[in-house]
A = this chain, B = another copy of it.
Amino acid sequence: MPVMTYRDALRSAMAEEMERDESIVLLGEDIGLYGGTHLVTNGLIDQFGPKRVIDTPIAEGGFTGAAIGMAMSGLKPIVEMMTWNFSFLAADQIIQTAAKLHYFSGGQVNVPLVVRGPNGGGVQLSAQHTHSLEGFYGHFPGLKVVSPATPADVKGMMLEAIRNPNPVIFLEAGALYGTKGEVPEGDEVVPFGKARVAREGTDVTLIAYGRQVPLLLRVADKLAEQDISAEVIDLRSIRPLDTETFVESVKKTNRAVVVQEQWRYFSVASEVCAVLQHEAFDYLDAPVERVSGAEVPAPYARNLEIAGFPTIDHVVSAARRVLYLEK
């Protein structure tokens, strides 16, 4: 299998699908002439022309709304949020229109729309430019919300996102754009609603998605050094949430740690804990632990930023706690 970066895998999914399907257009700020701020769309304007790769003014609400209109007209627009931090300006369009239009039109109108862009922090962009919005968008029925962590998944899930007849919130792990991995050739769709066992283990289940997945793999290595066998679950899909995969895992390991960089309250980790206590009540040998971002707006200084996000040490500690190896 060819090895490519997360960024290239993502671009190739869009480019390949655009070649197959003329109804796909891209919209966003500086995705064309500029090449895309994160170079995800670099070159696509040359390949597909400015009618299909549409540079927009800085008006997230307006162009997301316009993309909904395009979707209603029969196109399959892919909107780039330059970063998801700007999507609060499009929240009304995404939540009030895209998510609900099919329902309140009594099924008369579909919204085959993908909204994509980098999500999450880690590069000192500070308070306004650091958000991890899985729980925020995942709360709303009518949306599909995904958060792929590997080049293979980002490609396969983008193919699925484009073909899906519903509005899809596609949360890329911005910090992983440059990471490499094997990517199956061709048309390998990764369906939504299926978590992935990223590593098998027997003593404790570690659960995350996006940027925290590679972190958990490193944690698992660390734990292995201490003779602790960790199973790592990559949720991949936030809505629908595949509860079965992680519940089964915990029924086997009897212990779990959920890790996310988003804030703790009313988050993905909250829900995973709620599900586990309900579905694996008799299997849990210890309370599920969570490791989340610090309950503060993201700071700029490098040392503060690092202290505010989950680290290997934080997670190792939490794993040891659920194993009653430390307090």
Q: Chain B residues near A134: list those with CB within 8 A.
A: 266
Q: Is A140 in the interface zone, CB < 8 Å from B?
A: yes
Cβ-neighbour of A297 out of B61, B142, B296 (below 8 A): B142
Q: Which of A226-273 contact B (CB under 8 A)?
A: 239, 241, 262-271, 273
Q: Is A277 an interface residue (CB 8 A)?
A: yes
Q: Does A16 contact B (CB under 8 A)?
A: no
Checking B138, B279, B296 against A141 with a beta-carbon cut-off of 8 angstroms, the contacting residue is B296
CA–CA, A245 to B104, complex, Å? Answer: 40
| A309 to B127 Cα, complex, angstroms | 36
Residue in B closest to A239 when the chains form the complex, CB atoms: B265
Roughly how many angstroms separate A139 CA and B297 CA in the complex, as a whole number?
11
Give the residue among A141, A241, A266, A278 with the most B Cβ atoms within 10 A: A266
User: Contact flags (1/0) for A270-294 with B, using CB distance below 8 Å?
Assistant: 1101101111010010111110000
Residue numbers in B under 8 Å from A286 (CB-CB): 281
Q: How far is the CB of A26 from chain B (nearest CB, A)?
A: 23
Please give me the residue from chain B that is nearest to A296 by CB atom: B141
Q: Does A91 contact B (CB under 8 A)?
A: yes
Interchain CB contact under 8 A, B297 and A287: no
Given A281-B286, A287-B277, does the pair A297, B99 have CB atoms closer than 8 Å? yes
Some 16 contacts from A to B, beta carbons below 8 A apart, are: A85-B96, A89-B92, A100-B127, A134-B266, A135-B266, A136-B266, A139-B263, A140-B263, A142-B296, A241-B265, A265-B271, A266-B267, A269-B274, A276-B277, A279-B287, A281-B287
Q: Which residues of A contact B (CB under 8 A)?
A: 61, 85, 88-89, 91-92, 95-96, 99-100, 103-104, 126-128, 134-136, 138-142, 239, 241, 262-271, 273-274, 276-279, 281, 284, 286-290, 295-297, 299-300
Q: Which 8 A-B pairs have the closest CB atoms?
A: A273-B274, A277-B277, A135-B266, A88-B92, A270-B270, A100-B297, A281-B287, A103-B297
